[in-house]
């Protein structure tokens, strides 16, 4: 091929889930081509109350990684998630809405459902958007639904997980030895750089041991231990777009019956998310420290999560992005590359995106400037689309309270503004590259926040309101029948975890 020796050693530095997700996924994919992966595990404070909500693509990522679903949910006491329920507890009496991992409604006479629904709404009362979504309806009844052939006939149905962070990290770490990963458990590591571009030459560990790699992955989370100190490091703050600067995490007892969705409760002073699992319920309360004190935050989180909160921690949040997540021979993955707002809990997905793109661009030689440029372009674009989705929740909310008033004063990025304006005008989602969330998610969010489009596409005009009403009624009945035939989430979990254990 060429004189350039290919990259042979990858060193991943970090802790907890980011470290072990990167390490195992890279080792699994790169092992067969002879790349050696090492993990330097830094001692950092673990947050025992943290429960990750994930996004549907994690399921296939796990399959490639060799993580079996039943085994994972059993050993971590995790659960399934069909989406997120948003409930307005701030007193505006606005109806809640459900952002489901699935599609809403089926096409009528070849025309997309959403504009038909808009038209039906204009002509009279019609069931809520989510009543046409099998995943949302199943969640409403506490049932688990999977994309079987019968279910898939009703539309796209996907699912994600709620998984306790510490148990998840433990399970991933357990995969490492079999994947040939060398693990260094160290308190800290000193980074030695060389060259004009600030390439990392080696890591000197606490123990005095030296670890060297051809490529380093910064999975140290928001502390950004490697990338943050790189000479080319440039942090771009997104604080102009986001109001939240504190996140309280706590543990609440498990629900007697585990809901297959997360709930985001809006209060006047922020929002509180409940991520249920079989072991406990993760509580996350986001607020702005300039408006509310820690005591108020604890009080609000307790009001939603119950009085028995434990393991309460409060961490700062400062959204922003590393202008070059891949700098010299260091690739930042996860919060070290981009600190996202906590809404929708997409931090695991952000890690997954970083890994997938790194693998698809994994250097073929030691010269990899082109790969780096492309990686940075793809990641920044992907992160910005995630940012837009999160920002929409604050910028277009109509909730009552000082937190929300301030939130609405923050600036919407240009791409989001374009998207929302297009939606307001025509009810369509402007297609953009590198989107994580599909049009159905955007529509559910915009509609849920109360945005009503001024018009819909002309194709809908060929269908009479009567025809639409009939078809809507039929869909509701079919979905109802299908969903009630699905198992309760509790039973499903018990059978899945129990049977696999036997």
Partner 1 sequence: MEPSHPSEKLRIVIVGGGTAGWMCALAMARQLPAATYGITLIESDDIGTVGVGEATLPHIKIFNDSLGINEAQFMRETRATMKLGIEFRDWNQPGQGYIHPFGAFGEPWGGVEFQHHWIRAQRRGASGTALEDYSYSVAAARANAFDFPNEDKKSIRSTYAYAYHFDAGLYGAFLRKLAVEAGVQRIEGQVCDCARDRLSGDITELTLKSGARIAGDLFVDCSGFRALLIGGALGGKWQDWTHWLPCDRAYAVQCERTGALTPYTRSTAQSAGWIWRIPLQHRIGNGYVFSSRFISDSEAQQSLLGALEGQALGAPRLLRFSPGRRLHAWSHNCVAIGLASGFLEPLESTSIFLIQAAVVDLINLIPAPHSRTSDPRLANEFNRLNDMQYDRVRDFLILHYMANRRLGEPLWDYVRTMPVPDSLQNKLELFRSRAALPNYQFGLFARDSWLAVLIGQGIEPSHYDRMADVFPMEALDEKLSAFRERVRTNVAAMSSHSEFIENYCGPAATAVSEGAEA
**3-state secondary structure labels for all residues of 304-337:** HHCCCCEEEEEEECCCEEECCCEECCEEECHHHC
How many other β-carbons are positioned within 10 Å of the β-carbon of residue 410?
A: 15
Phi/psi of residue 107, nearest 5 degrees:
-55, 145
User: What spatial distance separates the first Cα and last Cα of the chain, rounded to whole Å?
Assistant: 51
Instruction: Say whether residue 32 binds partner 1 (CB under 8 A).
Output: yes
Instruction: Say whether residue 455 binds partner 1 (CB under 8 A).
Output: yes
Stretch that binds partner 1, among 285-293, 338-346, 429-437, 442-450 (CB under 8 A): 429-437
Instruction: Say whether residue 421 binds partner 1 (CB under 8 A).
Output: yes
CB 220 within 8 A of CB 15: yes
Stretch that binds partner 1, among 182-190, 239-247, 334-342, 452-460 (CB under 8 A): 452-460
Residue from 80, 159, 362, 404 binding partner 1 (CB under 8 A): 362
Residue from 124, 208, 290, 458 binding partner 1 (CB under 8 A): 458
Stretch that binds partner 1, among 17-25, 38-46, 359-367, 394-402 (CB under 8 A): 359-367
Instruction: Say whether residue 433 binds partner 1 (CB under 8 A).
Output: yes
Nearer to partner 1, 402 or 454 (CB): 454
Nearest approach in angstroms of CB 373 to partner 1 is 6
Judged by CB under 8 A, how many residues of this single chain contact partner 1?
Answer: 38
* Whole-number Å distance between alpha carbons of 71 and 25: 18
**3-state secondary structure labels for all residues of 451-484:** CCCCCCCHHHHHCCHHHHHHHHHHHHHHHHHHHH
Instruction: Say whether residue 109 binds partner 1 (CB under 8 A).
Output: no
Instruction: Say whether residue 368 binds partner 1 (CB under 8 A).
Output: yes
How many other β-carbons are positioned within 10 Å of the β-carbon of residue 443?
A: 25
Nearer to partner 1, 59 or 229 (CB): 59
Instruction: Say whether residue 377 binds partner 1 (CB under 8 A).
Output: yes
Nearer to partner 1, 439 or 476 (CB): 439
Task: Show Cβ contacts of residue 79 under 8 Å, excluding neighbours closer than 6 positions.
Answer: 73, 161, 162, 258, 260, 276, 277, 278, 489, 493
- How far CA 201 is from CA of 207, 214, 231, in Å, comes to 18, 8, 14
Instruction: Say whether residue 430 binds partner 1 (CB under 8 A).
Output: yes
Closest by CA to 493, choosing from 81, 83, 154, 140, is: 81
Stretch that binds partner 1, among 253-261, 319-327, 344-352, 454-462 (CB under 8 A): 454-462
CB 376 within 8 A of CB 332: no
List residues near partner 1 by CB under 8 A: 1-2, 4, 6, 29, 32-33, 360-365, 367-371, 373-374, 377, 418, 421-422, 424-426, 428, 430-431, 433, 454-455, 457-459, 461-462
């Amino acid at each position: 091929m060429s004189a350039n020796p290919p990259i042979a050693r990858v060193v991943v530095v970090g802790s907890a889930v980011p470290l072990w997700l990167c390490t195992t996924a890279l080792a699994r994919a790169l092992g067969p081509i002879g790349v050696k992966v090492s993990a330097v595990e830094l001692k950092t404070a673990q947050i025992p109350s943290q429960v990750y909500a994930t996004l549907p693509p994690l399921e296939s990522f796990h399959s490639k990684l060799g993580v079996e679903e039943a085994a994972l949910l059993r050993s971590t006491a995790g659960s399934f998630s069909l989406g997120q329920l948003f409930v307005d507890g701030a007193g505006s009496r606005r109806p809640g809405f459900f952002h489901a991992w699935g599609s809403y409604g089926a096409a009528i006479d070849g025309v997309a459902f959403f504009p038909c629904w808009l038209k039906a709404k204009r002509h009279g009362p019609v069931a809520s958007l989510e009543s046409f979504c099998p995943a949302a309806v199943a969640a409403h009844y506490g049932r688990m639904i999977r994309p079987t052939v019968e279910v898939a006939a009703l539309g796209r149905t996907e699912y994600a997980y709620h998984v306790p962070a510490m148990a998840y990290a433990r399970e991933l770490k357990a995969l490492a030895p079999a994947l040939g990963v060398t693990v260094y458990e160290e308190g800290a590591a000193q980074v030695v750089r060389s060259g004009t571009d600030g390439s990392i030459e080696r890591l000197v560990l606490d123990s005095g041991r030296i670890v060297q790699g051809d490529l380093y992955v910064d999975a140290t989370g928001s502390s950004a231990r490697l990338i943050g100190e790189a000479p080319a490091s440039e942090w771009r703050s997104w604080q102009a777009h986001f109001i939240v600067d504190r996140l309280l995490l706590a543990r609440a007892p498990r629900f007697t019956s585990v809901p297959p969705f997360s709930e985001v409760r809006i209060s006047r002073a922020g929002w509180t998310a409940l991520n249920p699992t079989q072991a406990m319920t993760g509580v996350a309360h986001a607020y702005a420290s300039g408006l509310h004190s820690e005591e108020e935050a604890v009080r609000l989180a307790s009001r939603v999560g119950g009085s028995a909160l434990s393991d309460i921690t409060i961490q700062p949040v400062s959204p922003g992005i590393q202008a070059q997540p891949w700098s010299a021979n260091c690739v930042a993955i996860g919060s070290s590359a981009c600190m996202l707002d906590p809404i929708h809990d997409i931090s695991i997905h952000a890690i997954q995106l970083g890994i997938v793109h790194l693998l698809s661009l994994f250097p073929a030689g030691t010269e990899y400037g082109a790969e780096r440029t492309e990686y940075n372009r793809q990641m920044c674009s992907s992160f910005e689309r995630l940012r837009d989705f999160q920002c929409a929740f604050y910028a277009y909310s109509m909730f009552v309270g000082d937190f929300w008033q301030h939130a609405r004063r923050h600036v919407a990025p240009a791409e989001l503004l374009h998207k929302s304006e297009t939606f307001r005008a025509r009810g369509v989602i402007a297609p953009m590259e590198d989107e994580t969330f599909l049009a159905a998610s955007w529509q559910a969010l915009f509609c849920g926040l109360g945005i009503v489009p001024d018009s819909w596409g002309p194709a809908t005009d060929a269908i009479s309101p009567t025809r639409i009403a009939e078809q809507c009624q039929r869909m509701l009945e079919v979905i109802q029948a299908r969903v009630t035939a699905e198992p309760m989430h509790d039973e499903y979990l018990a059978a899945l975890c129990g049977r696999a254990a036997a």
